[in-house]
Structure 1
Amino acid sequence: MIYTVTFNPSLDYIVAVDDFQLGMTNRTTFEQILPGGKGINVSIVLNNLGLETTALGFVAGFTGEEIRRRVEGIGCLSKFIPIESGISRINMKLRSIEGTEINGMGPAISAEKIEELMRLLDDLTDTDMLVLAGSIPSSMPDSMYMDIMKRLKDKHVLIVVDATRELLVNVLRYHPFLIKPNNHELGEIFGVELKTRSAVVPYAKKLQEMGARNVLISMAGEGAVLVAEDGSFYETHAPKGTLVNGVGAGDSMVAGFLAGWLETGDYSHAFKMGVAAGSASAFSELLATKAEIEQLYATL
């Protein structure tokens, strides 16, 4: 089973407004509500590719119940832990102005609820995979990802981490199976600017030296790079297409990579599946379908 953890899931309220004006009443011309959060996105794309997955995390209030309903309605399993006070966040994304969004806070997570999640994770075995993705709510310790990996280190669970800066660097000592920073996040770790595929390779290898097994670097229009555990290296340009919605593209890349690797154990295939899935989501209103991924895979 592949488990994903989203500590602070959301309902994403996506709207378009023609000629948006500050200080005025604006009316939407397009509306869409989707379950949101990096781990949930990974689960949805894995489900689209025919793999069984269970979404874990915390939900609260009527929005939390709607997140659960929508995730399960898509076909994913879930074991969300209910929080008695507060509500799961609503993130408003204004499609008319690229990159403009207002993200909610979400509920406070108590130490007791964190321990409840830990007990769920204690049941994982070496036949399972775990995806840890996204930011940590302010009510939780910054060491959360590291704490989880430390607790599971003797279970030989394959763990994927998609996080930034210290959240990522701090887990490397526990040898995650896969990490997926983008080129900007990789540059932030080492204090450099990385614009080309060739430029990211030495720094991806540094992350391997620090403990990561496989390092997958997404670079938007520039393409992607994989430095694999077996010493192989892969790079590719970005597939051609029109950017429709960049939200979830990186999460889709993680899902595609895992699906490809589980299918064949071949890093070349896994890499191309990751690139195809990430691009297919970027070129679509919703997260990538299997047919969309297969169509782009054939072009790589």
Structure 2
Amino acid sequence: MTLLADPLVQRMLLVGLLVGAAAPIVGTYLVQRRMALLGDGIGHVALAGVAAGWLAGSAAGLAQRDSLAVPGAVLFAVAGAVIIERMRARGAAADVVMAILFYGGIASGVLLIGLAGGSNANLLGYLFGSISTVAWADVWITATLAIVIVGVGLGLRGALFAVTHDQEFARSTGLPVELLNMMVAVLAAATITVAMRVVGVLLVSALMILPVAIAQRVTASFSRTMYVSMAVGATLTLTGIWITLTHDLQPGALIVVLGVGVYVAVTLALASRDRLRRGSES
């Protein structure tokens, strides 16, 4: 229990809890829309924003060159989300648009962070997460964005579900479909920015989707899937972070591996249950 008295551990667990609970909310909408890989495309655009923030901080002569990294990530991620949604609304293939942003984002990030004088270690921290470096300022930023994500994601659950499930029906009922679609995209961008410090841009989509995939195996309704996925996401992040406090493992990668393991275990358990039921009925 002495670990819990450490301010760094407190910050890590608090950020993990916030991100783990908030990320699956947006992930539920993305899975419903069959856009599970949207997080990857926006995440790599956010990486370019991180590098642009580094470059701006370096050009401004700031003592901490990465102080503009998070604002840069937010700006680029939101811009990327808006572009993807506008292109998708105009009939462009969403997977092609995301692929272009995916490759363009990571390539731009590598080039810009090099121009800013950053190292490969700095880049790896954003690619795979660096939760052990979070300060209280990061906690407050994460908390603010998480509150917005939870508030909008749960508060507008009915309208957002209608849009993600059947856009034509939603439009016929008078819902602002384009605005709500854009809202989902922007929420995804905010979620990616929040989760970037925990699992990194390469794994951020997994934290949004895996808890939802697990929840879908044990629930039937949209609302229950969302709530269960929030609990699963928070449990995975807290468990992964806690394990890394005593073992020299990368937190982001461990969280994702734990999620994959839980999904496989649940799937196998359900398959075994179904076989037993069929055997007893026969």
What band does the TM-score fall into relative to the shorter chain? under 0.3
- Normalised to the residue count of structure 1, the TM-score between the two structures is 0.25
- Give 1 or 2: higher strand fraction: 1
Report which of the two structures shows the higher radius of gyration computed on alpha carbons: 2
- Give 1 or 2: higher helix fraction: 2
- Normalised to the residue count of structure 2, the TM-score between the two structures is 0.27
Q: Which has the higher contact order (CA 8 A, sep 6+)?
A: 2
